[in-house]
């Protein structure tokens, strides 16, 4: 009788252990948080507390790359948020609101909770932002017909008054209307790059009044107190309608997407932060590229194509900076997203996943990154629904995961 009870106890214990092991094996482990700005919530009626714009927080599963809602959405602090930037330590998130012409600072906790802190206002619409590697300066470009680059000091994430501002004009065409589209800071913090186009020279469906080249890339060196000095030779030609700009983690290359010409333009960085075109460029993209991101190791680059609803993957030659299209094992160069991706980001914790914000799809698309080939494969259950018209996406590693930053 005692033996029988003992055997039953052992059986029950074994079953319990098996169930516990099963649940442990299926446990979701968060490696990153995905922050997405949307123009409105999918929630309707009186429960919709953010009718004009919100920031949504999702958690990335380490095994599948699938995302799930991690925290309740928060209001963006204005109407129609259009751009996001995150501090190097991932403790501060900045949101640019188009209609209210402001940038709002949120503190980002280790569990993904966002808390609104302070804001700064503009006379014109803020378009794009970037934070310096030391976390002490926020660079923002603003304007819809006159472009301005501003440098704001940061103190524990709080945004101070502009330390310096500089107008972006085309040499020989000072009266032309210039529209900024993107800003990037070098990993060493010593230079800032701004993509922009000349609206007086490129105005589809409208009147052009200038013979200037339409696309431009401005380069500035940085100094103490937020000082900005144009680099020798700046600005540089940048196709027809540059839409985004990024730099690699080794401070050697800069890349610009050209929305109008369906191409990627590469530059080498030389003495005094002067630029020269990379060999064999420009490089083909999909239709109407809108955003570009480089993985934390500096090996791969990803471009979102709004017209094709796709992501183009590239392998970067670390010696020359030349990007070559990464082809999937099926022979396909196309990585389909939901409708109209406008922003792309790579997860910093493992450098394993890529996500796009899809404006017309009201969703996020996810991909698994092959760490050897740079190719992409869709994650489980992608795309993931978001609020209305997502405009930007940034990622932060979960507190207990290191950042994949490897200098080639």
Lowest-pLDDT range of 69-73, 181-185, 342-346, 404-408: 404-408
* Cβ pair 257, 291 in contact under 8 A: yes
Rounded Cα distance, 106 and 187, in Å: 23
41 part of a folded domain: yes
pLDDT in tens, 308-342: 999 999 999 999 999 999 988 777 777 999 999 99
At residue 51 the predicted structure's pLDDT band, cuts being 50, 70 and 90, is confident
3-state helix, strand, coil in the chain (%, to 5): 10, 50, 45
Say if 404 falls within a structural domain: no
Mean pLDDT of the chain: 90
Over residues 139-166, mean pLDDT: 96
pLDDT at 17: 39
- Asked whether residue 251 is assigned to any structural domain, the reply reads yes
Number of domains in the chain: 1
d(CA 1, CA 120): 78
**Is 273 within the bounds of a domain?**
yes
- Residue 15, pLDDT > 70, answer no
Cβ count near 290 (within 10 Å): 25
Predicted model pTM: 0.90
Q: What is the CATH number of the domain that holds 133?
A: 2.130.10.10
Query: What does the pLDDT average to over 189-202?
Result: 97
Q: Which domain holds residue 213?
A: 30-397
Q: Is residue 407 situated within a structural domain?
A: no
């Amino acid at each position: 009788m005692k033996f029988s009870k003992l055997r039953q106890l052992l059986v029950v214990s074994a079953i319990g252990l098996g169930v516990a092991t099963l649940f442990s094996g299926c446990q979701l482990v968060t490696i990153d948080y995905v922050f997405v700005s949307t123009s409105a919530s999918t929630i309707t009626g009186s429960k919709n507390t953010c009718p004009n714009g919100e920031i949504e927080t999702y958690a990335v599963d380490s095994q599948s790359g699938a995302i799930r809602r991690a925290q309740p959405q928060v209001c963006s602090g204005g109407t129609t948020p259009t751009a996001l930037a995150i501090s190097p330590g991932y403790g501060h998130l900045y949101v640019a609101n188009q209609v209210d012409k402001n940038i709002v600072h949120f503190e980002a906790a280790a569990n993904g909770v966002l808390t609104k802190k302070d804001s700064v206002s503009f006379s014109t619409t803020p378009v794009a932002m970037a934070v310096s590697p030391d976390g002490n300066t926020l660079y923002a470009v603003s304007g819809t017909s006159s472009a301005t680059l501003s440098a704001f000091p940061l103190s524990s994430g709080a945004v101070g008054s502009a330390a310096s501002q500089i107008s972006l004009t085309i040499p020989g065409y000072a009266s032309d209307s210039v529209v900024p589209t993107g800003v990037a800071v070098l990993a060493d913090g010593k230079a800032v790059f701004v993509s922009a186009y000349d609206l007086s020279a490129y105005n589809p469906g409208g009147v052009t009044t200038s013979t200037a080249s339409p696309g431009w890339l401005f380069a500035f060196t940085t100094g103490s107190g937020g000082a900005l000095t144009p680099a020798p030779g700046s600005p540089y030609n940048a196709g027809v309608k540059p839409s985004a700009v990024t730099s690699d983690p080794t401070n050697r290359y800069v890349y610009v997407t050209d929305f109008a010409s369906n191409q990627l333009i590469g530059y080498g960085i030389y003495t005094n932060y002067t630029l020269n075109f990379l060999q064999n460029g420009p490089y083909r993209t999909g239709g109407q590229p809108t955003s570009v991101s480089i993985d934390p190791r500096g090996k791969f680059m990803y471009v979102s194509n709004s017209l094709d609803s796709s992501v183009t993957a590239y392998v970067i030659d670390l010696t020359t900076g030349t990007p070559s299209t990464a082809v999937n094992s099926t022979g396909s160069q196309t990585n389909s997203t939901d409708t109209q991706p406008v922003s792309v980001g790579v997860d910093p914790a493992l450098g394993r996943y890529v996500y796009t914000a899809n404006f017309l799809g009201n969703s996020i698309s996810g991909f698994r990154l092959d760490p050897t080939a740079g190719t992409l494969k869709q994650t489980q259950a992608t795309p993931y629904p978001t609020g209305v018209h997502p405009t930007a996406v940034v990622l932060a590693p979960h507190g207990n995961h290191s950042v994949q930053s490897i200098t080639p």
